[in-house]
A = this chain, B = another copy of it.
Amino acid sequence: MKIAVLGGDGFVGWPTSLHLSQAGHEVHILDNLSRRWIDAELGVQSLTPVETIQERLRAWHTETGRHIHFHLVDIARDYDVLKSWLAENRPDAVVHFAEQRAAPYSMRSDRHKNYTVNNNVNATHNVLNALIELDLDAHLVHLGTMGVYGYSSVGAAIPEGYLPVGIENLAGDQASLEILYPANPGSVYHMTKCLDQLLFQFYAKNDGVRITDLHQGIVWGTHTEETRLHPQLINRFDYDGDYGTVLNRFLIQAAIGYPLTVHGTGGQTRAFIHIQDSVRCIEIALKNPPKRGDRVKIFNQMTQTHRVRDLAKLVSGMTGVDINYLPNPRKEAAENDLVVKNEQFLALGLDPITLEQGLMNEVVDVARHYADRVDRSRVPAAVAWTRDIAEQLDEASSPSAPRAALG
């Protein structure tokens, strides 16, 4: 297949591009390199040393003999460039990662909220709009998020996209139907993925666009089979307060002997998936497209759920560091249960890597290996979700509180 990977320079986009290239597909990365610009803005860098995209692709060719093509395009801003590229290349599939993907970053300021909404909505809409305008029947595979469901809104097991409900119909009888799961986003970033869902629903219905939306859990792990092939192919590892997910931050804190920071009670339950499984899921989704006229196909791309405090205990047990409980900067329930259905990927052959199997590798091969590259000032999470919470955090970080111990 000829596959366009939008956002193919990012954390999931890069190993996906390699995985699809290794599987024999003709892969084209379209990316504006925004993730590198945001590193510059925040003054942070990946724990692992990331090469330029050009060097990455040269190394890939040297190592495997395969070519991946790169095109510098801003999907959200340059509609006409995107459209021309699609018209000329007519890919069989488009994998869409071209969105700002950090919840804390999306909540930093009004400018960051606007950027995230603008970038993400326009990127998704531009792709859909161009496919329809060009009459191009490519399968669109989009990386969504478990965050579209929220964590405590409905009280039922989280289905794969569509929730069966009962209603009273016009005749006054009980009737049942399936609806798109009621969106309940917890940040501006998550909200944009809810907006994406509505765009997908509309264009699938009105124009028959074939779309798969993958609601992914929190990704952990760094290496995949392909990124291991050469040091220049290594994937990003973010540990800063904006882009570092909870597990990455624990790993780095452990590696530098800093107490693991758990927000609130740590009773938040989250869904997880290893990066290797993530790229496999995308390949499986590409092999199993919906038919033209079908509704949007939705998979839950996750393999395990864990409470944050249990993760902290796991990492603490492996490494011997303490756990430190701090006020929560996010507006969310202190404790939540989370039951998530993920039968579809399992039925299609996914054999998940568990945290228990893979976590020690991360501790040794990644966190300790690169510990001398850690910027200790970037370890605590810092963005508050609302004004009220910002004030509470300010109080908590007064001189007597643990956060200030970093100094």
Contact = CB atoms under 8 A, between A and B. Distances in A.
A118 B170 CA distance: 37
Given A154-B177, A169-B156, A207-B386, A114 B129 contact: yes
B206 A202 contact: no
A182 interface: yes
Contacts of A117: 121-122, 125
A227 to B, nearest CB: 35
A141 B114 CA distance: 21
A201 B191 CA distance: 10
B191 A199 contact: yes
A258 interface: no
A194 B183 CA distance: 12
Contacts of A175: 155-156
Nearest to A174: B166
Interface in A373-387: 385-387
Contacts of A182: 179-180, 182
B129 A113 contact: yes
A110 B128 CA distance: 10
A337 to B, nearest CB: 7
B133 A125 contact: no
B125 A114 contact: yes
A194 B182 CA distance: 13
A185 to B, nearest CB: 6
A165 interface: yes
B166 A166 contact: yes
Contact of A132 (B110, B121, B126, B185): B110
A339 interface: yes
Contacts of A79: 110, 114
B206 A170 contact: no
Interface of A: 79, 83, 109-110, 113-114, 117-118, 121-122, 125-126, 129-130, 132-133, 135, 154-157, 163-170, 174-175, 177, 179-180, 182-185, 188, 191, 194-195, 198-199, 201-202, 205-207, 331, 337, 339, 385-387
27 contacts: A79-B110, A83-B110, A110-B130, A113-B129, A114-B125, A114-B129, A117-B121, A117-B122, A117-B125, A154-B167, A155-B169, A155-B175, A156-B175, A163-B167, A166-B166, A170-B337, A170-B339, A179-B179, A180-B182, A185-B198, A185-B202, A191-B198, A191-B199, A195-B198, A198-B198, A205-B331, A207-B387
